[in-house]
Amino acid sequence: MKLNLFFLSSAAAMVNAATAQYNNKVELGTAENYAIIAKTGISTVAPSVITGNLAVSPISAGAITGFNLVMDSSGKFSTATQVTGKVYASDYISPTPSELTTAVSDMETAYTDAAGRTVTDGNSNLYDGALGGQTLTSGVYTFDIG
């Protein structure tokens, strides 16, 4: 079984001269507005800190656990002490549900694009999978897992 890791960079494009392969960045669409976006739920334990927005869709805010969510007076988002950003769920007031439907679709499109890419030369079983403390460049990485 192989585990593929897609490390994305804000670089517009890169050229691998060895293979003359041109790789555009993976376009995230509206999914780029979220540090975490999930279809099945998000859980945390103290003292977690998340920088950026997080969202769940198509499930409700009940699938966000371990956060002390406080609904904004607009009903469009929540806040939490563990999140520097806003928290969104599909059961919040419009336009949040439709915006999240688009973001989830964009996330799935980005994943399909990234999953279909060829592993970047030299990025197979890099550091035998021990990535702690390493700085990775843009590219597609794969690791053998048992």
Name the CA dihedral angle for 62, 81, 103, 90, rounded to a multiple of 10 degrees: 30
Please tell me the distance from the alpha carbon of residue 132 to that of residue 56, in angstroms, as a whole number: 28
Contact in structure between 42 and 27 (CB atoms under 8 Å): no
Mean pLDDT computed over 108-137: 88
Segment (H or E) for 4: strand 2-7
Using DSSP, how many helices (H) and how many strands (E) does the chain show?
1, 13
State pTM to two decimals. Answer: 0.75
User: Per residue in 77-112, pLDDT tens?
Assistant: 999 999 999 999 999 999 999 999 999 999 999 999
Q: What angle do CA 108, 31, 12 make, to 5 degrees?
A: 95
